[in-house]
């Protein structure tokens, strides 16, 4: 994924769908959509150092899961990140 792929134009339906997804996920996580967008961008940036990913297919969700240490639930982040290729660094 190149840097320009992040700024690729989307049609209005795709933009609306992405915004709605972000709003729903941020509501579950009890944090703002801006924070969720920053988390998503950070994940893309870090993983892109090592792998070529399909940013369009990226799906991040926050759900509730049973805690292993307490009797209750805790938020859990699930990320589905389609990998196109692994980058091989020189010297490895």
Between residues 6 and 60, the one the model is more confident about = 60
Q: Which neighbouring-strand residues pair with 66? A: 73
Nearest-angstrom CA–CA distance, 61 and 22:
9
Computed on alpha carbons and rounded to an integer, the radius of gyration of the chain in Å comes to 16
The secondary structure of 31-72, three-state, reads: CCHHHHHHHHHHHHHHHHCCEEECHHHCEEEEEEEECCCCCC
Residue predicted with more confidence, 75 or 42: 42
**Confidence band (pLDDT; 50, 70, 90) for 10?**
low
Q: Which pLDDT value is given to residue 29? A: 64
- C-alpha 22/C-alpha 62 separation (Å) is 10
């Amino acid at each position: 994924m190149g840097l320009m792929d992040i700024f690729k134009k989307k049609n209005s339906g795709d933009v609306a769908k992405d915004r709605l997804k972000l709003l729903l996920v941020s509501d579950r996580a009890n944090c703002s959509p801006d924070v969720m967008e920053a988390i998503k961008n950070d994940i893309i940036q870090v993983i892109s150092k090592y792998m070529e990913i399909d940013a369009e297919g990226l799906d991040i969700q926050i759900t509730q899961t049973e805690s292993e240490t307490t009797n209750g639930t805790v938020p859990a982040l699930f990320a589905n990140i389609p990998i196109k290729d692994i980058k091989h660094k020189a010297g490895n």
